[in-house]
Amino acid sequence: MAKSTYNYDISRSFVNWSILWGVVAVLVGILIAFQLVLPSWNLPPFLTYGRLRPLHTNAALFGWGLGSFFATFFYITQRLTRQRLWSDGLARFQLYLFNATIIAAAVTLLLGYNTSKEYHELEWPLDILVVVLWVVFAANIIMTVIKRKEEQMYVSIWFMLASLIGVAVLYLVNAAEVPVSLFKSYSAYAGANDANVQWWYGHNAVAMVLTAPPLAIFYYFLPKTTGAPLYSHRLSIVAFWSLIFMYLWTGAHHLMWTPVPDWVQTVAMAFSIMLIAPSWGSVINGYLTMGGQWHQMRSNYLVKFLILGITFYGLQTLQGPSQAVRTFSAFIHYTEWIPGHVHMGAMGWVSLVLFAAIYYMVPHMYGRKLYSEGLANLHFWMVLLGQLGYSVSMWIAGVQQATMWHAINPDGSLHYSFMETLAAMVPYWWVRAFAGVLYLAGVLVFVYNLVQTVKKGEAVAEPA
Ligand code: HEM
Ligand code: HEM
């Protein structure tokens, strides 16, 4: 299929912008990590930890995460359907709206406008922008799939469609609110119901943003980079449907030991454990696809990113279910363990797969050879070590914090004051901050390599 048949322009633009937001997210992540150990780095009122933290999560999940999903979804959909994008104009409009929304989100969050619902912090006028953005995106992808020239729908398309529909439903239900002024609204739900809806949304944001899209990408790029076909299409589809069915019941595992009814918590716990099976269905499919290709772990830098990525997904989906068990939840909930879990998924699984996808797409879209595989390998090791430094330090910190909180004197009083438990975290927070700097340095190597590829990369014809 000739190159001009597809619209790569839009994927290129989304790649550029998502990387920019990714660098901002990581910079702000490092800043808040340092603020915890150097409180004087808080500059009230705008640059305090409380305002910068949601800026970090929004820039990371929506700027970097969604931005690069847009780029890859446009690329993958056209290739898998053998059909040019349904509307170039809508896609361009989506790019402008995406950037406008991210900028508006950054400004309003720094000004202190926040709904106080985690991962749904933006106030109602921005909710409307997000809904328009999503509808435009979904319409473009769905119409392209409908008009496809390739009859078979590869598993990546299923995961993309699930994400498109899932995010729409979750976002709209959780966004039900009563505006009282331009930048203030109150949730339509009250008390425990509000919490339940919020975490039904929150956890399924993990499913529909941090799981389904990277899986779509992984399933597409692993066979592409290794040259070996997917081990089992049947297994991929069974894993898809069971994953989608099971995720929707697990939200209340964020609300163990709260006033949410016990049976709701028990259902969430049971479904979280059942989720191991469909999650590992994809992990095993990935490993078996590597069949006779394991030597490529040495020779092919893309395979390294993808296989380490799916391995972190596998670990994440064993750790997550164990955190959903009531007794373990009582131990690690509210501790540093949780950011350790989050960042193994975010910096490990999601970001590693995205790095691989971008490394694959940029040379193909510009018709140039990657500038330096050596730099790509360096990037790999820097982000891997940065991520491990982050997660491992937080897991150890979390266990120490939990045991300190639980330590009791013979008379039943607490052994440690809260301040003592907090001070004990400081060394771990230093490790996390420097691990973050290493991760950022790796990301900058990635950016340099891409810029040089576009500017100086040897010209090659795009493979059919
Ligand atoms: C089988 C799959 C998974 C299960 C059952 C699971 C379970 C959990 C549980 C129980 C918590 C709450 C911990 C607490 O606060 O006590 C949690 C938090 C979290 N998980 Fe997972 N997890 C899974 C996979 C993932 C994946 C793949 C990611 C991707 C990055 C992820 C991202 C997160 C995030 C962002 C939070 C923090 C939510 C917050 O702000 O409190 N999880 N997970
Ligand atoms: C150098 C890299 C990074 C650093 C230093 C960093 C740092 C931090 C810090 C300090 C927090 C607050 C933890 C707390 O309140 O206890 C945080 C939260 C969070 N970060 Fe990052 N981060 C980095 C990269 C990323 C990336 C790449 C993503 C997503 C793709 C991400 C997603 C999140 C999320 C979802 C949370 C909320 C976690 C929760 O509520 O438990 N971070 N990060």
Q: What is the pLDDT of residues 263-301, one digit of tens each?
A: 999 999 999 999 999 999 999 999 999 999 999 999 999
To test the pocket of ligand 1, the residue of 266, 319, 336, 338 to mutate (highest count of ligand atoms within 8 Å of its CB) is 338
- What's the token pair of residue 209? 């943003």
For 39-94, the pLDDT digits (tens) are 999 999 999 999 999 999 999 999 999 999 999 999 999 999 999 999 999 999 99
Pairing of strands 184-187, 177-181: antiparallel
To test the pocket of ligand 2, the residue of 27, 30, 52, 56 to mutate (highest count of ligand atoms within 8 Å of its CB) is 56
How many A from CA of 199 to the centre of ligand 2?
18
How many A from CA of 194 to the centre of ligand 2?
24
Measured from the CB, is residue 7 less than 6 Å from ligand 1? Answer: no
Report the nearest atom of ligand 1 relative to the CA of 345. 30
pLDDT over 80 at 464, yes or no? no
How many A from CA of 395 to the centre of ligand 2?
14
Q: So what's the pLDDT on residue 463? A: 52
Crossing angle of helices 373-406 and 301-323, in 10° steps, is: 10
Residue nearest to atom 34 of ligand 1 (CA): 342
Q: So what's the pLDDT on residue 105? A: 98
Measured from the CB, is residue 324 less than 6 Å from ligand 1? Answer: yes
Residue nearest to atom 17 of ligand 1 (CA): 320
Architecture of domain 3-456: Up-down Bundle (1.20)
How many angstroms separate the CA atoms of 66 and 88, rounded? 19
**pTM for the whole structure:** 0.97
Measured from the CB, is residue 310 less than 6 Å from ligand 1? Answer: no
Write down the domain spans for the chain: 3-456
Measured from the CB, is residue 253 less than 6 Å from ligand 1? Answer: yes
Measured from the CB, is residue 264 less than 6 Å from ligand 1? Answer: no
- What's the token pair of residue 159? 């995961």
Band (399; pLDDT cuts 50, 70, 90):
very high
Report the nearest atom of ligand 2 relative to the CA of 36. 10
Residue nearest to atom 19 of ligand 2 (CA): 57
| Cβ count near 163 (within 10 Å) | 25
Report the nearest atom of ligand 2 relative to the CA of 118. 40
